[in-house]
Chains A and B, each alone.
Chain A
Amino acid sequence: MEAALRLAHLYPKLMNLYGDRGNIICLRRRCQERGISLVVDELELGDSLDPAAYDLIFIGGAQDREQRRVAADLLETKAEALHQAVAEGVVLLAVCGGYQLLGRYYRPAAGEELAGVGIFDAWTVHPGPTARRFIGNVVVRWQGGTLVGFENHGGRTYLGPNARPLARVIAGFGNNGRDGGEGVVQGENAFGTYLHGSLLPKNPRFADHLIVQALRRRYGEVELAPLDDALEERAHAEAVRLATRKAIFLKR
C-alpha cells in the first residue's frame, strides 16, 4: 500500500516529560514497516495548527510551569483548529498533562484554575498538596485485552456524560482512583490517557488501532499487515505481571 500520513506533535519541547517521544518513535516505525510514510511536524508555542493538514495529533505531558504556558497557548493559537480537526475525524492522542489540558478545566493544588480546550467532556481537580499522588504501574482492560503503562499524576479526572472511559482499571489508579475508569474516548477518534511508559511501544494493538483509524479516514477500508511483535508482547506481558503482583501485595 502506498500511503502517507501526517502527524502534528504538539509542543515536543515543552510537553515531553515521560518519554513521550517513544510514542512518536513507535508510530513512525510501525508505519514504516508497512510502507506507510509518516511525516511528523513539531508545533511549538505560537505555531498555528492547520486542521486539514493532519491525520494524527499527539500531545504529551509536562511539569506544572510548562503546562501553564501551554494551556494559554493552546487556547490562543490551537483550540479552534483542534475542535475542527477532531470533528473531522483526525485521530488525537493526549497523554497525562496533555489529557488534562484538553479537558474542560484543570484546577491545580495551588494557583488559578486553567481553562481547558474542551475536546474531552472531562475535568481535572488536584485535591491539594497533601493528597496522595497516583504513582505506579498500571494495567487496564481495553477491547478484550489489556493496556499497560506507568501513571504519575496528582490531579483526579472525572468524565461528563458525553465521554466514556478508554479502559477499566485492573491494577493502578486510573482517572481518579474511585470509579475504575482510565482515560477517555470522545467520539471515536479522540483519546486521552494517564498511561505513559512510553504508552505505544508496549501496546502495539493500541498503536495499530490509531494508525488504522487514521488510514481509514483517508483511504477507506484498510487492513494492516501484521508485524513481528514478539518483543512488544513480551514487554507487555512483563508489565502486566509486575503491575498485578504489586496490586495483590497492596491488598494484603
Chain B
Amino acid sequence: MSAVSGLRTAAAVTMAKAAAVLSRRLGFGGGTALPGLVADAVAPGLAARLAARLGHGCVLITGTNGKTTTARLVRNIAQAGGFRPVHNHSGSNLMRGITACLIEATDARGQLRQPERRLGIFEVDEATLPEAAAALSPRVVAFTNLFRDQLDRYGEVDSVAAIWRRALAALPPATTVVLNADDPGVASLADACQGSVLFYAVSDIACAVDQIEHAADARWCPACGREYTYSAVFYGHVGHWSCPGCGRARPAAAIEATRVEQRPDAPLDLSLSTPSGQFELSLPLMGLYNAYNALAAVSVGVALAVPAGAMQKGVASFTAAFGRQERMIVRGREVHTILAKNPAGLNQVLRAISAEQGPKNLLFLLNDDIADGRDVSWIWDVDFEMLAGQATLLMASGRRAADMALRLKYADIDAHPAIEADTQAALEMALALTPEGERLYVIPTYTAMLKVRKLLARWGQRPPFWEEA
C-alpha cells in the first residue's frame, strides 16, 4: 500500500469512527450505516482494502429469508472453530453497513487486531451481492432461499435470480458456493458457479406438508417450462422437487438433515449427515425454516473445515438476533416476538405458532416503509386461515393496521381483530389483554420490529442491539 493510500485509509477510518460515536450520542441509532457512508465518501473502496486484511478472508450470506439467523449461526460456529469473526450483526446488510462493520473492527491507525485469525461474516442484501462479492472476494458464498419479497423494491423473483447469477459468474473458482438443494430457485444457481458447490437439504420426509402453499414462487422449470412435481413439500416451494419435462431434479446434498424433530415449546432437534461426520444439533428456535438456516450455517462450517464438535458447541451457544425470534417476560406475560416480512416467512411463523400449545394471543404489526416494502398486498398471499379456532386475542397495528385487520377478518379466525395503529399503545393494550401467565405473540414487519424491540428492551431490560456481542 502506498503511503498516501495508507494515510487516506487511516483518515477515513478515523472520520467514520467519529461519525459512529456522533450518531449514537445524537440518538440516531446504532451508528451501523453512517460510518460506512462517511468512509465511502472519504476513501472509496475502503471496504475492499480492509477486507483484504482479514487473515481468513470472508463469508457472504444472502437469500430472501434467514440471512441474519444464518449469519449469526455461522458466527458462533466460526468462533467455536477458533476464528475471530468480524460480523455485521446488526443486520445492516448494504455495502455501507459492511464497511461500517469493518471500520468498527479496525483501530484508529487502520489496523485489525489479530488479523491472522480474522474471518469476515457478512449478511448481504440480495441486490447488493454483486457489489459485495466484487469488493470482498469471499471464500464462501451461502444462499438461504428465494421467495417473493418486496416486489416494489427488489423487482420480481426472476430479476433477483439473474442478479445472483451475475455475481456467481464473476467469482473465481476458489470460492465455495453453498446452496439449498430443496429450493429449486436456489439449487439451479449451481449452473452459474465456477468453483465447488456444497448442497444442503432436508431428507426427513416426516416434515412434509399436505400441499404446496400459496406463497410458492418457483413452480416451473426455467429450462423447459414444465411444472415441478414434488414427492414432498416442506414449505412454500421448498421440498423434494423434480421436473417431469427435462428431468432436472433436486441435487444430491453433501449436508443433510436426516431427522428434524419439532416439538411444541422445545428446541429443534436435528440429526445431520455431513462430510465432517454425523452429529446432532439442538437449536433454540422454532420452525422448519430455522432447520434450513442451521443447515446453511453448518455447510459454511464444513467449507471452513470446522470440526463437528466445534460446530455443535457453536450452535449450542446460539441466541437469536434480538427481535427476530425472542422470548422474554414482560409484566408477567411471556412475549414471543417473531419477525415476518414476506408471505413464505409469515406462513412458516404461523405454522410454528399453530404447533405450539396453549391459547394464542396475537399482535400483528404491518408497516409499509421502504424497508418493509411499500406494497402490503402480500398479506393476502399468507394462509392466516390456519389460525382458525386458535386465537383468543387478535390485534392489528402499524401504519397499515386496518389492512392487516381486514385480512384477518377475511381469514375467518373467530376472534374479532382489534386495531391500534400506534406501536406503543398496541403493545400496552396487547399486554393488558393477554391474561397473566399466558403467551403473547408479537409478529412485526421489519421497521415495526425496530420499534417493538426498543420498547421491549426498555420494559424487559434487554440491551439495545448494537451493544450485542
Contact = CB atoms under 8 A, between A and B. Distances in A.
A18 B380 CA distance: 8
Contacts, number: 88
7 smallest beta-carbon distances between A and B, as pairs: A22-B380, A19-B380, A19-B377, A235-B402, A63-B156, A238-B402, A198-B380
Contact of A17 (B151, B222, B227, B409): B151
B409 to A, nearest CB: 6
Contacts of A17: 148, 151, 156
B149 to A, nearest CB: 12
Nearest to B212: A13
Contacts of B222: 65
Contacts of A64: 156, 158
B37 interface: no
Contacts of A19: 377-381
Most central of B376, B399, B403, B417 by chain A CB within 10 Å: B403
How many interface residues does chain A have, given as a range? 35 or more
Given A63-B158, A66-B220, A201-B410, A235 B377 contact: no
A234 B381 contact: no
A220 B259 CA distance: 60
Contact of A152 (B214, B375, B380, B409): B375
A135 B378 CA distance: 15
A22 B410 CA distance: 9
A9 interface: no
Contacts of A13: 219, 227
B157 interface: yes
Nearest to B419: A234
Contacts of B368: 242
A2 B227 CA distance: 39
Contacts of B403: 197, 202, 235, 238-239
Contacts of A22: 377, 380, 407, 410
Contacts of A198: 377, 380
Interface of A: 13-14, 16-22, 25-26, 29, 63-66, 69, 135-137, 150, 152, 196-198, 201-202, 231-232, 234-235, 237-239, 242
Contact of A235 (B151, B156, B225, B405): B405
A29 B410 contact: yes
B9 to A, nearest CB: 36
A25 B380 contact: yes
Interface of B: 148, 151-152, 156-158, 214, 219-220, 222, 225, 227, 368, 374-381, 399-403, 405-407, 409-410, 417, 419
Contacts of A16: 214, 381
B402 A196 contact: no
Given A18-B151, A26-B410, A235-B405, A150 B214 contact: no
Given A18-B375, A150-B376, A201-B410, 8 more contacts: A17-B148, A22-B407, A63-B157, A197-B375, A197-B403, A202-B406, A231-B406, A242-B399
Contacts of A29: 410
18 contacts: A14-B220, A16-B214, A17-B148, A19-B378, A19-B380, A21-B381, A25-B410, A29-B410, A66-B220, A69-B225, A152-B152, A197-B375, A197-B377, A197-B403, A198-B377, A201-B406, A237-B402, A238-B403
A150 B377 contact: yes
A251 B406 CA distance: 31
A79 to B, nearest CB: 20
Contacts of A69: 220, 225
Nearest to B378: A19
Contacts of A202: 403, 406
Contacts of B405: 231, 234-235
Nearest to A232: B406
A14 B219 CA distance: 9
A238 B400 contact: yes
Contacts of A14: 220
B374 A137 contact: yes
Nearest to A199: B377
A65 B368 CA distance: 27
A231 B158 contact: no
Contacts of B219: 13
A27 to B, nearest CB: 11
A63 B217 CA distance: 10
Contacts of B379: 19
Nearest to B152: A135
B374 A135 contact: yes
A13 B405 CA distance: 26
Nearest to A237: B402
A218 to B, nearest CB: 25
Nearest to A63: B156
B402 A231 contact: yes
